[in-house]
Amino acid sequence: MSNSIRIFTLSLFGAAVLAAFVPGMSHAQTTANTQSHVDRKLVYKVDPYYPTDLKRLFIGGVVRLKIVVSARGTVDTITPLGGNAAFVENSVAAVKKWKYSPAEAPTEMLINLDFDPRR
């Protein structure tokens, strides 16, 4: 492996590690696509933190989450289904704070959070 590739790889790894431990400066521009049998309205949303170094290096991606929303509208369970590991932890922390309109029963949803460095 050439030195320039090794340095670039270490820089990316270092940026991901650093981003996990440094409090937010920039937030991700996200879109959520939900799929459910019951239409639940999102009434409170927190955008996940988009690590500044990853955005500067044009590293983006999509985090897919399966969530269970209680009848009261709080997010009870979050299961990561895929995505860049550097974004998953921040996505889970943000989605835990989301609130939905009440319903008669818990609802399972699939959420896609887009981290686009061009936004």
pLDDT at 37: 53
The CATH class of the 3-115 domain is alpha beta
Task: Render pLDDT for 17-73 as a digit per residue (tens, 0 to 9).
Answer: 334 333 333 445 444 544 445 678 999 999 999 999 999 999 999 999 999 999 999
Ordered by start, the domain boundaries in the chain are 3-115
How many whole angstroms separate alpha carbon 49 and alpha carbon 20? 10
Both tokens assigned to 20: 């996990």
On whether the CB atoms of residues 80 and 95 are closer than 8 A, the answer is no
pTM: 0.69
